[in-house]
């Protein structure tokens, strides 16, 4: 429960920081992150075919999910 709260707070912080830098990327990430865990799974990325097709090249740490930082590389292009 505590861990979940911290995760939520960190996510909120990241999203609010992102929205200051670039609202559209943070908004897009949130829309794709259907289960709100702060990462885009392969199936979540399928909603964006261009992202899905290059999912592995953007997944720099190879954990099979995209963090906001990894998504930012895609979204800022
Ligand atoms: Ca997710
Ligand atoms: Ca990753």
Closest listed ligand to the CA of 58 = 2
Domain 2-75 in CATH 1.10.238.10? The answer is yes
User: 76, 18 in Cβ contact below 8 A?
Assistant: no
Distance CA 55, CA 65 (A): 8
Whether the pTM exceeds 0.75: the reply is no
Ligand 2 center from residue 71 Cα (angstroms): 9
Q: Tell me which residue has tokens 């829309």.
A: 31
36 C-alpha to ligand 1 centroid (Å)? 5
Distances (CA, A) of 14 to 23, 27, 31: 12, 12, 15
> What separation in Å is there between the alpha carbon of 20 and the centre of ligand 2?
23
Question: What tens digit of pLDDT does each residue of 20-71 get?
Answer: 555 799 999 999 999 999 999 999 999 999 999 999 999 999 999 999 999 9
DSSP bridge pairs for 65: 41
Q: What is the pLDDT of residue 3?
A: 75
Which distant-in-sequence residues (6+ apart) come within 8 Å of 22 by Cβ? Answer: 76
């Amino acid at each position: 429960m505590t861990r979940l709260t911290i995760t939520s707070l960190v996510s909120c912080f990241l999203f609010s920081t992102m929205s200051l830098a670039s609202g559209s990327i943070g908004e897009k990430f949130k829309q794709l992150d259907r289960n709100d865990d702060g990462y885009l799974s392969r199936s979540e990325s399928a909603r964006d075919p261009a992202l899905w097709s290059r999912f592995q090249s953007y997944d720099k740490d190879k954990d099979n999910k995209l963090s906001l930082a990894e998504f930012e590389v895609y979204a800022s292009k």
